[in-house]
Amino acid sequence: MDSAYFIMKLWETGNVGSNNIAKADNNPKEGFKSKKKAKKFLIESYENDDWDYRQNFYTFTIMKLYFNL
């Protein structure tokens, strides 16, 4: 079993709606090899005004996902 780190976006639908989670669109296909690299990418993207990370209705987290190849 392999694993990789991905930046995930979190949001709520409506005031009392469901909570949602999805991978951010610009993650590398294979993910990040370390949490540190994912965090650096997230901070740099925010500082460079990347629209995906500047939207104020998302909260972001870094998650380690496990998968079979």
Complete DSSP assignment for 5-53: EEEEEEEESTTTS-EEEEE-TTS-TT-BSSHHHHHHHHHHHHHTT-HHH
Examine the pLDDT at 47 and tell me if it is beyond 90.
no
Examine the pLDDT at 52 and tell me if it is beyond 70.
yes
Stretch 17-38: mean pLDDT, rounded? 92
φ, ψ dihedrals at 53, nearest 5°: -100, -10
Please give the pLDDT value at position 46: 86
Q: Tell which residue, 1, 43, 38, has the closest CA to residue 23.
A: 38
Q: Which residue has the tokens 């104020």?
A: 56
Q: 1 falls in which pLDDT band (50, 70, 90)? A: confident
H or E element at residue 54: helix 51-54
What is the reported pTM?
Answer: 0.82
Examine the pLDDT at 57 and tell me if it is beyond 80.
no
